[in-house]
Amino acid sequence: MKPGSRIAVIGAGLAGLSCAQALQTAGNEVVVFEKSRGAAGRMSTKRGASESGEAWQCDTGAQYFTARVPAFQAEVLRWQAAGVAAEWTPKLQVFGEPPRATAEAGHGSGSGRRYVGIPRMTAPARHLAETLNVRTQTTLQALRRDGSGWHLRSAEHGWLGEHFEAVVLAVPAPQALPLLLPVNPELSSLAASVRMRGSWALMLRYHSALNLGFDAAFVNTGPLRWIAQDSHKPGRNGQHSWLLHASAEWSDAHIEASAETVAAELLAAFAELGGIAPDAWSAHRWRYADTEHALQLGAVWKVSDGLGLCGDWLNGGKVEGAWLSGQMLAEQIATSLRKD
């Protein structure tokens, strides 16, 4: 490999976009592949319209993010200057005794400044993707390496007629594993050692504002772990909306349950906290919401193979960890290029 290499990044969540942007800035030709319709990964927002045509939206994945490391603090300032992020200062409540929920992914530590994307959580990722070559709706199924480099096969297009000097996998460990198994036993073992947990998200919509005396709450009892008035976040408009996140333990136990069963149990738990039945609801199942025990490797780069891994599961979890992991991997790749 040498500076100006062609590099494929698989996954357009924050880690992949962070890595891709840094690699492109360093002069490499980068292509990002994403199986979904748009970039953002678990910084996800659902949007729709009511029967009357009124628009609604609700963040279903990461609820906010914090910035503790100077490099990420500087990045958040850039996002704020670009109008894609803002500080969120909710009135917080805590139900039940710690220590369960506040350490779970997407909900920080319960202290420090909280930020959200505006007008929705996807905004920072979409901002990063604007200057990148991102190919959406491309589900990578296999990797193959020969003398000309790495070749990729997608479900939609078969083997792609191009090659890359390096490949970055910026996807959850369970999704990286089938790609790694045929090509790298060491990285396969690493991905297989990580257990990721699911999460059910329930989006509630109301014609009128629901005032519970708080804007968001950590929940340490029952099936819920977090509830928030999504429409209270800055830059939001449309119908009044609340988001309910189930705990990892409850979600894993009910991961194959129907949306109707999940909604019934979570709405009952919400009612015990003062909530009322919504005018409409939608459910979303995250199979890989967070890592039970996130690794502290930062990122992994196998220079001899031109193969790297990044993501929050390698760097302590959370949004900040994902962005930093992408930066770390890009720096490792850049260092190896300078040595060649």
Q: Cβ(195)–Cβ(288) under 8 Å? A: no
pLDDT value of position 111: 54
Q: Give the single-character DSSP code of 130.
A: T
Strand runs labelled E in 14-136: 29-33, 45-49, 55-59, 85-88, 92-95, 114-117, 133-135
Q: Cβ(272)–Cβ(307) under 8 Å? A: no
Q: Is the pTM of this model over 0.85?
A: yes
Q: Which domains does the chain have, with CATH numbers?
A: 1-43+123-194+294-340 (3.50.50.60), 47-121+196-292 (3.90.660.10)
CA distances from 262 to 35, 47, 84, 224, 331 (A): 26, 20, 33, 11, 43
What is the per-residue pLDDT across 198-239, written as a single tens digit (0 to 9) for each? 999 999 999 999 999 999 999 999 999 999 999 999 999 889
Report the 10 Å Cβ neighbour count for 177: 18
pLDDT value of position 340: 65
The Cα 113–Cα 91 span in angstroms is 13
- pLDDT higher than threshold 90 for residue 338: no
